[in-house]
Amino acid sequence: MTTIEVAESLRQLQNNDFETFLGVSEVLLKYINNIILNPAEVKYRSIRLANKVFVSKILPVAGGIECLFAAGFEENDEYLTLPEGSRLDALFFLQRELARQRLMTLSNQVARVTTSQTSEHAFHRKLRSSSDHVHHYEDPLLQQKARDVIPYEDLNRKAATRLNSIEQEETDDRPLDQRDLLLLELMKWFKQRFFKWMDAPRCDVCSSATRSSGMVEPTAEERRWEAGNVEGYTCTQCNKRVRFPRYNHPGKLLETRSGRCGEWANCFTLCCRAVGFEARHVLDWTDHVWTEVYSTSQQRWFHCDPCENICDRPLLYEHGWQKKLSYVIAFSHEEVVDVTWRYTANPQEVISRRAECREEWLMGSIDRLNKEKRQRLSASRVETLDERVPRELAEFLSLKKLREGESQGRQSGSLGWRLTRGETTGAQAQGSSAAEIYTFEPTTEEQNTKSFHVKYCCASDTYVRVSSRDKVTEHWESCVHQHQNILRKEEFDWNMVYLAREEGSPQASISWRFDCSKTPLKIDHVTVAASSSVYHSGSVAWSLTDGKQSISLKGDSTRMTDFRGAQTLELRAELMGGEGDLAWQHTQLFRMKANELNKFPFEWEIAMTS
Residues annotated as catalytic are 261, 288, 305
Number of alpha helices (DSSP H) and beta strands (DSSP E) in the chain = 18, 30
- Burial (CB < 10 A; 0-12, 13-18, 19+), residue 62, is middle
Type of residue numbered 547? G
In order of 161, 205, 413, 602, the CA distances from 208 in angstroms are 42, 8, 18, 33
Gap between the Cα atoms of 216 and 229, Å rounded: 8
In 3-state terms the chain splits into helix, strand, coil percentages (rounded to 5) of 40, 25, 35
- Closest of 118, 131, 46, 39 to residue 85, by C-alpha: 39
Gap between the Cα atoms of 436 and 439, Å rounded: 9
- Burial (CB < 10 A; 0-12, 13-18, 19+), residue 298, is middle
- Closest of 506, 508, 503, 504 to residue 485, by C-alpha: 508
- Show the DSSP H helices in 430-488 as ranges: 444-449
Gap between the Cα atoms of 361 and 365, Å rounded: 6
Q: Residue 296 — φ and ψ, nearest 5°?
A: -65, -40
User: Side-chain half-sphere of 252: how many Cα atoms within 13 Å?
Assistant: 14
